[in-house]
């Protein structure tokens, strides 16, 4: 009967021996850790502790650390996709590109830890089919906008020159986000990683790169 008492105490303290939905609890814990302290702060054991579970538990749900981090990255991509979706459509294709790019860079500045994770080959299993799915989903709007800016439809994308345009657009945006976040552009602009700066100056830069066309 004594053992029963002890069991009950334990039960009250930590819900149950079987967590119920440990998998999503671990993903959430990892997600929070990365949001708060970046990948530096993350460890499999820290996530386990945060979920109130033993250090060996995660291995049963995710094969290894990459599995868990992949889930977090997918989550982040979905959020990015939402931010992109929330951008309104306009008739000025250059303005569309500006708005989408601003949304992207804003996401990066708001979620630096996640952004640094999302594209890391060593931490995320990019061969997971869901990765392709979700990364395309969050990039397709920019693809279309750039294609439209160059007067092409989405159907033309197999044509080399249109693919090249879109490739450049993606590269530029990704590069700008990187330079801004990691403050590698400090000798171009000051306060380059501040949100104010980005909202003020990024549209100008993009206006330069994709000039609005005269519609007489």
Residues that bind a second copy (CB under 8 A): 40, 119, 121-122, 132, 136, 160-161, 163-168, 170-176, 178-179, 182, 184-185, 187-189, 204-205, 208-209
Q: Where are the alpha helices (H) located in 42-159, listed in sequence order?
A: 44-50, 58-61, 65-85, 93-110, 112-118, 129-149
Q: Which option in DNA, a second copy, none does residue 30 bind, with CB closer than 5 to 8 A by kind?
A: none
| Contacts to DNA by CB under 7 A | 7, 11, 14, 16-20, 22, 42-46, 48, 53-57, 59-61, 63-66
Tell me the closest approach of the beta carbon of residue 40 to DNA, in angstroms: 11
Burial 120-159 (b: 16+ CB within 10 A, else e): eeebbbeebeebeebbebbbebbbbbbbebbebeeeeeee
- Nearer residue to DNA within complex by CB, 5 or 215: 5
Judged on CB neighbours under 10 Å (0-12, 13-18, 19+), 80 is buried
83: nearest Cα among 114, 117, 120, 129: 114
- Nearer residue to a second copy within complex by CB, 27 or 145: 145
Tell me the closest approach of the beta carbon of residue 66 to DNA, in angstroms: 6
99 DSSP 8-state letter: H
Q: Which option in DNA, a second copy, none does residue 208 bind, with CB closer than 5 to 8 A by kind?
A: a second copy
Cβ(72)–Cβ(31) under 8 Å?
yes
- Nearer residue to DNA within complex by CB, 20 or 129: 20
Tell me the closest approach of the beta carbon of residue 46 to DNA, in angstroms: 5
Residue-level length of the chain: 216
Question: In angstroms, rounded to a whole number, what is the distance separating the alpha carbons of residues 130 and 17?
Answer: 31
Tell me the closest approach of the beta carbon of residue 153 to a second copy, in angstroms: 17
- Nearer residue to a second copy within complex by CB, 26 or 139: 139
């Amino acid at each position: 009967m004594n053992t029963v008492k002890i069991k009950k105490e334990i039960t009250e303290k930590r819900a149950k021996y079987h967590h119920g939905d440990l998998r999503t609890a671990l993903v959430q814990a990892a997600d929070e850790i990365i949001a708060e302290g970046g990948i530096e702060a993350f460890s499999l054991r820290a996530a386990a502790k945060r979920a109130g579970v033993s250090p060996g538990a995660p291995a049963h749900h995710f094969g290894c650390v990459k599995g868990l981090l992949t889930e977090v990255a997918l989550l982040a991509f979905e959020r990015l996709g939402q931010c992109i979706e929330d951008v309104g459509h306009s008739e000025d294709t250059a303005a569309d590109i500006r708005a989408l790019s601003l949304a992207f860079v804003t996401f990066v500045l708001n979620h630096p830890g996640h952004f640094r994770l999302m594209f890391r080959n060593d931490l995320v299993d990019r061969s997971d089919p869901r990765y392709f799915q979700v990364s395309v989903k969050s990039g397709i709007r920019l693809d279309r906008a750039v294609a439209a800016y160059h007067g092409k439809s989405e159907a033309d994308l197999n044509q080399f020159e249109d693919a090249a345009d879109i490739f450049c657009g993606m590269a530029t945006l990704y590069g700008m986000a990187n330079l801004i976040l990691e403050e590698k552009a400090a000798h171009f602009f000051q306060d380059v990683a501040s949100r104010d700066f980005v909202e003020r100056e990024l549209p100008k830069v993009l206006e330069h790169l994709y000039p609005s066309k005269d519609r007489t």
